[in-house]
Protein backbone atom coordinates (compact mmCIF):
# COMPACT_ATOMS: atom_id res chain seq x y z
CA UNK A 1 0.00 0.00 0.00
CA UNK A 2 1.52 3.27 -1.08
CA UNK A 3 0.29 6.24 0.93
CA UNK A 4 -0.82 6.98 4.46
CA UNK A 5 -4.22 8.58 4.01
CA UNK A 6 -7.73 7.21 4.21
CA UNK A 7 -7.61 5.27 0.91
CA UNK A 8 -4.32 3.53 1.72
CA UNK A 9 -5.46 2.68 5.25
CA UNK A 10 -8.81 1.33 4.05
CA UNK A 11 -6.99 -0.75 1.42
CA UNK A 12 -4.52 -2.04 4.01
CA UNK A 13 -7.26 -3.02 6.46
CA UNK A 14 -9.39 -4.65 3.74
CA UNK A 15 -6.44 -6.60 2.33
CA UNK A 16 -5.31 -7.72 5.77
CA UNK A 17 -8.84 -8.85 6.61
CA UNK A 18 -8.68 -11.00 3.46
CA UNK A 19 -5.54 -12.62 4.83
CA UNK A 20 -2.89 -10.74 2.87
CA UNK A 21 0.45 -9.80 4.36
CA UNK A 22 0.47 -6.03 4.11
CA UNK A 23 3.22 -3.41 4.14
CA UNK A 24 2.07 0.20 4.05
CA UNK A 25 4.69 2.73 3.00
CA UNK A 26 4.04 6.36 3.88
CA UNK A 27 6.58 8.90 2.69
CA UNK A 28 5.71 11.40 5.42
CA UNK A 29 7.06 11.14 8.93
CA UNK A 30 4.72 9.84 11.58
CA UNK A 31 3.79 13.38 12.69
CA UNK A 32 2.81 14.40 9.17
CA UNK A 33 1.17 11.14 8.17
CA UNK A 34 -2.26 10.95 6.58
CA UNK A 35 -1.88 13.02 3.40
CA UNK A 36 -4.83 15.24 2.63
CA UNK A 37 -7.14 12.99 4.61
CA UNK A 38 -5.99 14.64 7.81
CA UNK A 39 -7.52 17.92 6.65
CA UNK A 40 -10.92 16.44 5.78
CA UNK A 41 -13.92 16.23 7.99
CA UNK A 42 -16.71 14.13 6.50
CA UNK A 43 -17.81 11.82 3.78
CA UNK A 44 -20.88 11.60 1.61
CA UNK A 45 -22.94 8.44 1.50
CA UNK A 46 -26.21 6.94 0.44
CA UNK A 47 -28.62 6.12 3.23
CA UNK A 48 -32.18 4.92 2.98
CA UNK A 49 -33.50 5.90 6.39
CA UNK A 50 -32.60 8.35 9.15
CA UNK A 51 -30.15 7.21 11.81
CA UNK A 52 -28.47 8.68 14.86
CA UNK A 53 -26.34 11.10 12.88
CA UNK A 54 -28.10 11.54 9.53
CA UNK A 55 -31.66 12.78 9.16
CA UNK A 56 -33.89 11.96 6.19
CA UNK A 57 -32.68 9.79 3.30
CA UNK A 58 -30.28 10.18 0.43
CA UNK A 59 -30.75 7.64 -2.32
CA UNK A 60 -28.47 6.60 -5.15
CA UNK A 61 -30.33 8.57 -7.79
CA UNK A 62 -30.18 11.84 -5.87
CA UNK A 63 -26.49 11.32 -5.12
CA UNK A 64 -25.84 10.55 -8.80
CA UNK A 65 -27.77 13.64 -9.91
CA UNK A 66 -25.81 15.80 -7.47
CA UNK A 67 -22.60 14.42 -8.93
CA UNK A 68 -23.70 14.99 -12.52
CA UNK A 69 -24.54 18.59 -11.70
CA UNK A 70 -21.03 19.39 -10.58
CA UNK A 71 -18.91 17.21 -12.78
CA UNK A 72 -20.82 16.93 -16.05
CA UNK A 73 -21.49 13.96 -18.32
CA UNK A 74 -17.84 12.99 -19.03
CA UNK A 75 -17.55 11.08 -15.78
CA UNK A 76 -17.11 7.31 -15.90
CA UNK A 77 -20.73 6.54 -15.07
CA UNK A 78 -20.11 2.90 -14.24
CA UNK A 79 -17.46 3.75 -11.64
CA UNK A 80 -19.52 6.66 -10.33
CA UNK A 81 -22.51 4.39 -9.80
CA UNK A 82 -20.33 1.72 -8.21
CA UNK A 83 -18.84 4.28 -5.83
CA UNK A 84 -22.24 5.65 -4.89
CA UNK A 85 -23.80 2.20 -4.41
CA UNK A 86 -20.93 1.00 -2.23
CA UNK A 87 -21.03 4.18 -0.14
CA UNK A 88 -24.18 2.91 1.57
CA UNK A 89 -22.43 0.13 3.45
CA UNK A 90 -19.26 2.11 4.13
CA UNK A 91 -20.31 3.67 7.46
CA UNK A 92 -20.87 0.30 9.07
CA UNK A 93 -17.49 -0.93 7.89
CA UNK A 94 -15.83 2.23 9.17
CA UNK A 95 -17.56 1.89 12.54
CA UNK A 96 -16.40 -1.71 12.75
CA UNK A 97 -12.89 -0.36 12.32
CA UNK A 98 -13.23 2.17 15.10
CA UNK A 99 -14.53 5.36 13.45
CA UNK A 100 -16.92 7.51 15.52
CA UNK A 101 -19.25 10.14 14.16
CA UNK A 102 -20.13 13.61 15.18
CA UNK A 103 -23.74 13.84 16.35
CA UNK A 104 -26.21 15.49 13.94
CA UNK A 105 -25.07 19.00 13.16
CA UNK A 106 -26.63 22.04 14.75
CA UNK A 107 -28.33 24.65 12.61
CA UNK A 108 -30.96 24.55 9.94
CA UNK A 109 -29.33 24.35 6.54
CA UNK A 110 -26.56 21.79 6.74
CA UNK A 111 -25.02 18.76 5.17
CA UNK A 112 -26.26 16.35 7.79
CA UNK A 113 -28.59 14.62 5.39
CA UNK A 114 -25.92 13.79 2.82
CA UNK A 115 -22.70 13.66 4.80
CA UNK A 116 -21.39 11.95 7.90
CA UNK A 117 -18.86 13.89 9.94
CA UNK A 118 -15.93 12.13 11.62
CA UNK A 119 -15.73 12.89 15.32
CA UNK A 120 -12.71 15.18 15.53
CA UNK A 121 -12.21 15.28 11.76
CA UNK A 122 -9.80 13.63 9.37
CA UNK A 123 -6.71 13.38 11.52
CA UNK A 124 -8.66 11.56 14.20
CA UNK A 125 -9.82 9.19 11.45
CA UNK A 126 -6.25 8.66 10.25
CA UNK A 127 -5.14 7.97 13.84
CA UNK A 128 -7.93 5.47 14.37
CA UNK A 129 -7.42 3.63 11.07
CA UNK A 130 -3.62 3.56 11.48
CA UNK A 131 -3.96 2.02 14.93
CA UNK A 132 -6.55 -0.41 13.61
CA UNK A 133 -4.35 -1.44 10.68
CA UNK A 134 -1.36 -2.01 12.97
CA UNK A 135 -3.56 -3.91 15.38
CA UNK A 136 -4.53 -6.25 12.55
CA UNK A 137 -0.90 -6.87 11.70
CA UNK A 138 -0.29 -4.37 8.91
CA UNK A 139 3.30 -3.16 8.94
CA UNK A 140 3.54 0.62 8.53
CA UNK A 141 6.80 2.28 7.52
CA UNK A 142 7.05 6.05 7.64
CA UNK A 143 9.51 8.24 5.75
CA UNK A 144 9.54 5.62 3.01
CA UNK A 145 8.97 7.21 -0.40
CA UNK A 146 8.33 5.22 -3.56
CA UNK A 147 11.01 6.08 -6.10
CA UNK A 148 10.20 3.82 -9.02
CA UNK A 149 8.44 0.71 -10.24
CA UNK A 150 9.79 -2.20 -12.23
CA UNK A 151 7.11 -2.93 -14.78
CA UNK A 152 7.10 -5.96 -17.06
CA UNK A 153 4.15 -5.90 -19.42
CA UNK A 154 1.03 -5.97 -17.31
CA UNK A 155 2.80 -6.73 -14.04
CA UNK A 156 4.63 -4.71 -11.47
CA UNK A 157 7.65 -6.85 -10.57
CA UNK A 158 9.15 -4.58 -7.96
CA UNK A 159 8.82 -1.28 -6.17
CA UNK A 160 11.90 0.80 -5.43
CA UNK A 161 11.62 2.42 -2.03
CA UNK A 162 13.75 5.05 -0.37
CA UNK A 163 14.78 5.01 3.26
CA UNK A 164 17.35 6.49 5.59
CA UNK A 165 19.67 3.59 4.68
CA UNK A 166 19.31 4.12 0.95
CA UNK A 167 17.22 2.56 -1.78
CA UNK A 168 15.83 -0.94 -1.62
CA UNK A 169 13.59 -3.04 -3.79
CA UNK A 170 10.46 -4.76 -2.67
CA UNK A 171 8.85 -7.56 -4.61
CA UNK A 172 5.19 -7.46 -3.67
CA UNK A 173 2.42 -9.69 -4.93
CA UNK A 174 0.34 -6.63 -5.62
CA UNK A 175 0.62 -2.86 -5.29
CA UNK A 176 -2.09 -0.40 -4.32
CA UNK A 177 -1.34 3.20 -5.21
CA UNK A 178 -3.09 5.55 -2.83
CA UNK A 179 -0.58 8.34 -2.84
CA UNK A 180 -2.80 11.27 -3.82
CA UNK A 181 -2.47 13.89 -6.52
CA UNK A 182 0.41 16.17 -7.51
CA UNK A 183 -0.81 19.50 -6.14
CA UNK A 184 2.26 19.96 -3.91
CA UNK A 185 4.64 19.51 -6.84
CA UNK A 186 5.24 23.13 -7.78
CA UNK A 187 7.42 22.38 -10.77
CA UNK A 188 4.75 20.05 -12.18
CA UNK A 189 2.16 22.80 -11.68
CA UNK A 190 4.57 25.23 -13.35
CA UNK A 191 4.56 23.05 -16.48
CA UNK A 192 0.93 24.05 -16.89
CA UNK A 193 0.61 27.39 -15.13
CA UNK A 194 4.04 28.94 -15.39
CA UNK A 195 5.55 31.06 -12.64
CA UNK A 196 2.05 31.79 -11.29
CA UNK A 197 2.15 28.39 -9.61
CA UNK A 198 4.66 29.77 -7.12
CA UNK A 199 1.97 32.10 -5.84
CA UNK A 200 -0.52 29.36 -5.03
CA UNK A 201 -1.02 28.04 -1.55
CA UNK A 202 -1.22 24.26 -1.33
CA UNK A 203 -3.83 23.62 1.30
CA UNK A 204 -2.98 20.01 1.99
CA UNK A 205 0.03 17.77 2.43
CA UNK A 206 3.36 19.06 1.17
CA UNK A 207 4.23 15.42 0.43
CA UNK A 208 1.82 15.11 -2.50
CA UNK A 209 4.31 15.45 -5.34
CA UNK A 210 2.51 12.86 -7.48
CA UNK A 211 5.64 10.84 -8.21
CA UNK A 212 3.93 7.41 -8.25
CA UNK A 213 1.24 8.92 -10.50
CA UNK A 214 3.82 10.28 -12.94
CA UNK A 215 5.82 7.05 -13.00
CA UNK A 216 2.75 4.94 -13.72
CA UNK A 217 1.70 7.30 -16.52
CA UNK A 218 5.20 6.91 -17.97
CA UNK A 219 4.80 3.13 -17.75
CA UNK A 220 1.69 3.22 -19.88
CA UNK A 221 -1.14 3.70 -17.39
CA UNK A 222 -4.25 5.35 -18.79
CA UNK A 223 -4.58 9.01 -17.78
CA UNK A 224 -7.93 10.21 -16.48
CA UNK A 225 -9.04 13.76 -15.72
CA UNK A 226 -7.88 17.16 -16.89
CA UNK A 227 -4.07 17.20 -16.63
CA UNK A 228 -4.10 20.93 -15.84
CA UNK A 229 -7.13 20.89 -13.59
CA UNK A 230 -7.16 21.66 -9.91
CA UNK A 231 -9.75 22.53 -7.30
CA UNK A 232 -8.95 25.79 -5.56
CA UNK A 233 -10.58 28.27 -3.22
CA UNK A 234 -9.71 31.72 -1.92
CA UNK A 235 -7.42 31.53 1.09
CA UNK A 236 -5.80 34.16 3.28
CA UNK A 237 -2.57 35.17 1.56
CA UNK A 238 -0.86 35.39 4.96
CA UNK A 239 -1.31 31.66 5.55
CA UNK A 240 1.43 29.07 5.07
CA UNK A 241 2.36 27.93 1.56
CA UNK A 242 1.64 24.30 2.49
CA UNK A 243 -0.63 22.54 4.97
CA UNK A 244 -2.90 25.50 5.76
CA UNK A 245 -5.88 23.12 5.72
CA UNK A 246 -9.34 24.41 6.50
CA UNK A 247 -8.51 27.45 8.62
CA UNK A 248 -7.05 29.79 6.01
CA UNK A 249 -10.27 29.73 4.04
CA UNK A 250 -11.99 33.14 3.89
CA UNK A 251 -15.75 33.39 3.44
CA UNK A 252 -16.13 37.17 3.20
CA UNK A 253 -16.47 37.33 -0.60
CA UNK A 254 -20.27 37.73 -0.95
CA UNK A 255 -20.25 40.47 1.70
CA UNK A 256 -17.46 42.42 0.04
CA UNK A 257 -16.11 43.78 -3.17
CA UNK A 258 -13.17 41.87 -4.57
CA UNK A 259 -10.36 43.82 -6.15
CA UNK A 260 -7.11 42.80 -7.81
CA UNK A 261 -3.76 44.50 -7.34
CA UNK A 262 -4.82 47.31 -9.68
CA UNK A 263 -7.60 48.07 -7.23
CA UNK A 264 -10.19 46.97 -9.80
CA UNK A 265 -13.11 44.61 -9.45
CA UNK A 266 -13.03 41.55 -11.70
CA UNK A 267 -16.05 39.28 -11.05
CA UNK A 268 -19.59 39.24 -9.65
CA UNK A 269 -19.20 38.68 -5.89
CA UNK A 270 -22.94 38.10 -5.43
CA UNK A 271 -23.53 35.65 -8.24
CA UNK A 272 -24.85 32.78 -6.11
CA UNK A 273 -25.18 31.62 -2.51
CA UNK A 274 -21.68 31.19 -1.17
CA UNK A 275 -21.72 27.42 -0.62
CA UNK A 276 -22.34 27.09 -4.35
CA UNK A 277 -19.61 29.51 -5.32
CA UNK A 278 -16.77 29.34 -2.83
CA UNK A 279 -14.77 27.02 -5.04
CA UNK A 280 -14.90 29.30 -8.10
CA UNK A 281 -12.89 32.02 -6.43
CA UNK A 282 -9.64 30.08 -6.32
CA UNK A 283 -9.53 29.97 -10.09
CA UNK A 284 -10.73 33.58 -10.42
CA UNK A 285 -7.95 34.86 -8.19
CA UNK A 286 -5.42 32.64 -9.99
CA UNK A 287 -6.26 34.59 -13.15
CA UNK A 288 -5.48 37.98 -11.57
CA UNK A 289 -2.07 39.69 -11.74
CA UNK A 290 0.34 38.01 -9.32
CA UNK A 291 -2.51 35.76 -8.23
CA UNK A 292 -3.59 38.24 -5.57
CA UNK A 293 -6.91 39.75 -4.62
CA UNK A 294 -8.38 41.65 -1.69
CA UNK A 295 -11.82 41.31 -0.18
CA UNK A 296 -12.95 44.76 0.99
CA UNK A 297 -15.90 45.37 3.32
CA UNK A 298 -17.02 47.51 6.22
CA UNK A 299 -18.31 47.36 9.79
CA UNK A 300 -21.83 46.30 8.75
CA UNK A 301 -20.78 42.79 7.76
CA UNK A 302 -17.61 42.12 9.76
CA UNK A 303 -19.28 39.52 11.99
CA UNK A 304 -21.34 37.89 9.26
CA UNK A 305 -19.06 35.04 8.24
CA UNK A 306 -16.92 32.33 9.81
CA UNK A 307 -14.18 33.84 11.90
CA UNK A 308 -10.82 33.62 10.21
CA UNK A 309 -7.40 32.55 11.31
CA UNK A 310 -5.85 35.99 10.80
CA UNK A 311 -7.72 39.20 11.60
CA UNK A 312 -8.58 41.37 8.58
CA UNK A 313 -6.70 44.63 7.97
CA UNK A 314 -8.65 47.48 9.52
CA UNK A 315 -8.64 51.21 8.81
CA UNK A 316 -10.78 54.31 9.20
CA UNK A 317 -10.73 55.20 5.53
CA UNK A 318 -10.56 53.30 2.26
CA UNK A 319 -7.34 55.13 1.38
CA UNK A 320 -5.70 54.04 4.63
CA UNK A 321 -6.94 50.49 4.08
CA UNK A 322 -5.36 50.53 0.62
CA UNK A 323 -2.06 51.27 2.35
CA UNK A 324 -2.26 48.10 4.45
CA UNK A 325 -3.08 46.14 1.29
CA UNK A 326 -0.23 47.72 -0.72
CA UNK A 327 -2.86 48.95 -3.19
CA UNK A 328 -3.02 52.35 -4.85
CA UNK A 329 -5.25 54.44 -2.51
CA UNK A 330 -6.68 56.43 -5.40
CA UNK A 331 -7.62 53.35 -7.39
CA UNK A 332 -9.26 51.56 -4.45
CA UNK A 333 -11.11 54.69 -3.35
CA UNK A 334 -12.40 55.18 -6.91
CA UNK A 335 -13.54 51.54 -7.18
CA UNK A 336 -15.42 51.66 -3.87
CA UNK A 337 -16.94 55.05 -4.72
CA UNK A 338 -18.12 53.83 -8.12
CA UNK A 339 -19.56 50.72 -6.50
CA UNK A 340 -21.37 52.72 -3.80
CA UNK A 341 -22.79 55.04 -6.44
CA UNK A 342 -24.22 52.18 -8.50
CA UNK A 343 -26.37 50.44 -5.89
CA UNK A 344 -30.06 49.88 -6.57
CA UNK A 345 -31.06 50.20 -2.93
CA UNK A 346 -33.11 47.01 -2.62
CA UNK A 347 -33.61 45.23 0.68
CA UNK A 348 -30.82 43.14 2.09
CA UNK A 349 -31.43 39.48 2.93
CA UNK A 350 -28.42 37.22 3.28
CA UNK A 351 -30.63 34.12 3.41
CA UNK A 352 -31.54 34.28 -0.25
CA UNK A 353 -30.64 35.87 -3.58
CA UNK A 354 -31.94 39.27 -2.52
CA UNK A 355 -31.48 41.18 -5.78
CA UNK A 356 -29.72 43.98 -3.91
CA UNK A 357 -27.42 44.75 -6.82
CA UNK A 358 -25.30 47.22 -8.71
CA UNK A 359 -26.77 49.01 -11.72
CA UNK A 360 -24.69 49.60 -14.83
CA UNK A 361 -21.47 48.36 -13.31
CA UNK A 362 -19.16 45.90 -15.07
CA UNK A 363 -18.79 43.36 -13.65
CA UNK A 364 -22.00 43.60 -11.62
CA UNK A 365 -22.55 42.50 -8.06
CA UNK A 366 -25.92 40.78 -8.36
CA UNK A 367 -26.91 40.23 -4.72
CA UNK A 368 -26.16 41.48 -1.21
CA UNK A 369 -24.69 44.71 -2.61
CA UNK A 370 -24.68 46.83 0.54
CA UNK A 371 -22.76 50.10 0.35
CA UNK A 372 -19.25 50.07 1.80
CA UNK A 373 -19.48 53.31 3.73
CA UNK A 374 -19.41 52.58 7.45
CA UNK A 375 -15.96 52.73 9.00
CA UNK A 376 -13.93 51.00 10.12
CA UNK A 377 -13.18 49.36 6.81
CA UNK A 378 -11.67 45.93 6.50
CA UNK A 379 -9.81 43.81 3.97
CA UNK A 380 -8.45 40.29 3.66
CA UNK A 381 -5.53 39.65 1.32
CA UNK A 382 -6.28 36.52 -0.69
CA UNK A 383 -4.54 34.05 -2.95
CA UNK A 384 -5.62 30.78 -4.56
CA UNK A 385 -5.38 27.72 -2.33
CA UNK A 386 -5.25 24.43 -4.20
CA UNK A 387 -7.13 21.57 -2.60
CA UNK A 388 -6.36 18.80 -5.09
CA UNK A 389 -5.52 18.07 -8.73
CA UNK A 390 -7.84 16.15 -11.05
CA UNK A 391 -5.36 14.14 -13.11
CA UNK A 392 -5.36 10.48 -12.16
CA UNK A 393 -4.94 6.89 -13.23
CA UNK A 394 -7.76 5.16 -15.10
CA UNK A 395 -9.07 2.13 -13.20
CA UNK A 396 -11.60 -0.62 -13.80
CA UNK A 397 -14.29 -1.73 -11.37
CA UNK A 398 -11.76 -3.85 -9.41
CA UNK A 399 -9.67 -0.68 -8.97
CA UNK A 400 -7.04 -2.25 -11.27
CA UNK A 401 -5.03 0.41 -13.04
CA UNK A 402 -5.83 0.44 -16.74
CA UNK A 403 -3.19 0.67 -19.43
CA UNK A 404 -3.55 2.93 -22.44
CA UNK A 405 -4.54 0.71 -25.35
CA UNK A 406 -4.13 -2.57 -23.48
CA UNK A 407 -5.59 -4.69 -20.68
CA UNK A 408 -5.38 -3.50 -17.11
CA UNK A 409 -2.32 -4.20 -15.02
CA UNK A 410 -2.72 -7.52 -13.25
CA UNK A 411 -1.38 -6.51 -9.88
CA UNK A 412 -1.46 -2.72 -9.75
CA UNK A 413 -4.44 -1.03 -8.14
CA UNK A 414 -5.31 2.56 -7.33
CA UNK A 415 -7.56 4.19 -4.76
CA UNK A 416 -8.38 7.68 -3.54
CA UNK A 417 -7.30 10.97 -5.02
CA UNK A 418 -4.91 9.28 -7.46
CA UNK A 419 -7.87 7.77 -9.32
CA UNK A 420 -10.63 10.26 -8.44
CA UNK A 421 -10.28 11.75 -11.93
CA UNK A 422 -12.23 8.76 -13.29
CA UNK A 423 -15.30 10.07 -11.53
CA UNK A 424 -14.62 13.73 -10.80
CA UNK A 425 -13.73 15.49 -14.01
CA UNK A 426 -14.34 18.93 -12.58
CA UNK A 427 -16.16 20.57 -9.72
CA UNK A 428 -16.56 18.95 -6.35
CA UNK A 429 -19.18 17.56 -4.01
CA UNK A 430 -18.54 18.07 -0.31
CA UNK A 431 -17.20 14.88 1.22
CA UNK A 432 -16.96 12.97 -2.04
CA UNK A 433 -13.17 12.63 -1.99
CA UNK A 434 -13.37 10.57 1.19
CA UNK A 435 -16.19 8.49 -0.32
CA UNK A 436 -13.97 7.61 -3.27
CA UNK A 437 -11.08 6.88 -0.92
CA UNK A 438 -13.06 4.62 1.37
CA UNK A 439 -14.97 2.74 -1.32
CA UNK A 440 -12.08 2.22 -3.73
CA UNK A 441 -9.64 1.67 -0.87
CA UNK A 442 -11.72 -1.31 0.19
CA UNK A 443 -12.20 -2.53 -3.40
CA UNK A 444 -8.49 -2.22 -4.15
CA UNK A 445 -7.49 -3.82 -0.86
CA UNK A 446 -9.77 -6.80 -1.31
CA UNK A 447 -8.90 -7.28 -4.99
CA UNK A 448 -5.18 -6.99 -4.30
CA UNK A 449 -5.43 -9.69 -1.64
CA UNK A 450 -6.81 -12.02 -4.29
CA UNK A 451 -3.89 -11.59 -6.71
Partner 1 sequence: MSELQQLVDEAQRQFTICNACRYCEDYCAVFPAMEERRLFTEGDLGYLSTVCHDCRACYQACMYTEPHDFAINIPRLMAEGRLATYERYARPRWLARLFDRARSTLLGAVLAAALAVLVVYLLASSAETLLMGNEGPGSFYTVFPHAAMLIFGLLLAAWAILVCGIGAVLFWRDIGGRQGGVRGPGLWWRTLVEAGELRWMRGGGDECHFPDEEKPTPLRRYTHSAVAGGFVLTFAATVAAAIEENIFGILPPYPVLSVPVLLGLIGGVLVTAGCLGFLWMRREAPAELTAERTSRLGEAFTWSLLVVSVTGLALLALRETNLMGPLLLVHLAAVFAFFLTAPYGHLVHALYRSVAIARSVQERAAIEAEEASGTAAGLELVMVAPGEEGAE
For residue 374, the SS3 value is: coil
Query: Which residues in the 215-244 window bind partner 1 by CB under 8 A?
Result: 233, 240, 243
Q: Contacts with partner 1: how many residues (CB under 8 A)?
A: 57
Phi, psi of 308 (to 5 degrees): -110, 165
Regarding 246 and contact with partner 1 (CB under 8 A), the answer is yes
Q: Does 332 sit near partner 1 (CB under 8 A)? A: no
CA pair distance 57, 62, nearest whole angstrom: 10
CA distances to 76, 269, 276, 387 from 69, in Å: 14, 22, 11, 20
Q: In the stretch 350-369, what mask flags binding to partner 1 with x, by CB under 8 A?
A: xx------------------
- Does position 56 interact with partner 1 (CB under 8 A)? The reply is no
Separation between Cα atoms, residue 235 and residue 331, nearest integer Å: 23
Name which of 245 and 441 has its Cβ closer to partner 1: 245
Q: Is 158 in the site for partner 1 (CB under 8 A)?
A: no
Strands 115-117 and 42-44: antiparallel
**Contact (CB, 8 A) for 208 and 35:** yes
Residue 261 beta carbon to partner 1: minimum distance, rounded to whole angstroms: 25
Which of 57, 110, 169, 198 touches partner 1 by CB under 8 A? 110
Q: Could you say which of 26, 251, 261, 396 contacts partner 1 (CB under 8 A)?
A: 251
115 binds partner 1 per the rule CB under 8 A: yes
Contact assessment for residue 184 and residue 388, using Cβ atoms and an 8 Å cutoff:
no
CB atoms within 10 A of CB 113: 15
Contact with partner 1 (CB under 8 A) among 68, 247, 334, 338: 247
DSSP tag of 311: P
CA distance 144 to 212: 13
Coil, helix or strand at residue 230: strand
379-418 residues near partner 1, rule: CB under 8 A: 387
Stretch that binds partner 1, among 77-85, 121-129, 374-382, 411-419 (CB under 8 A): 121-129
Interface ranges with partner 1 (CB under 8 A): 31-32, 34, 38-42, 100, 102-103, 105-112, 115, 117, 119-124, 127, 131, 233, 240, 243, 245-249, 251, 254, 273-275, 279, 303-309, 311, 350-351, 387, 428, 430-431
Amino acid sequence: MIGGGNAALCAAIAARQRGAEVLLVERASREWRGGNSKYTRNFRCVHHEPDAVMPGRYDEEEFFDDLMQVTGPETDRELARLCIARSAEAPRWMEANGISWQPAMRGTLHLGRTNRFFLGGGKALVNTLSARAEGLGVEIRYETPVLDFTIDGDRCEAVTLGSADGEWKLDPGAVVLASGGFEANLSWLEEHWGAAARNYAIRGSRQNDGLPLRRMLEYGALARGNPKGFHAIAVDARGPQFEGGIVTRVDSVPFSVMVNENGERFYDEGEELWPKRYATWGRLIAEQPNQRAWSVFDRQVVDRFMSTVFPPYRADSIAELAGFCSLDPGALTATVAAYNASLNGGSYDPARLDGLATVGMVPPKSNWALPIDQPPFYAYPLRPGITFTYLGLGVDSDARVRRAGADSFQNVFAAGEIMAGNILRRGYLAGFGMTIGTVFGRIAGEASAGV
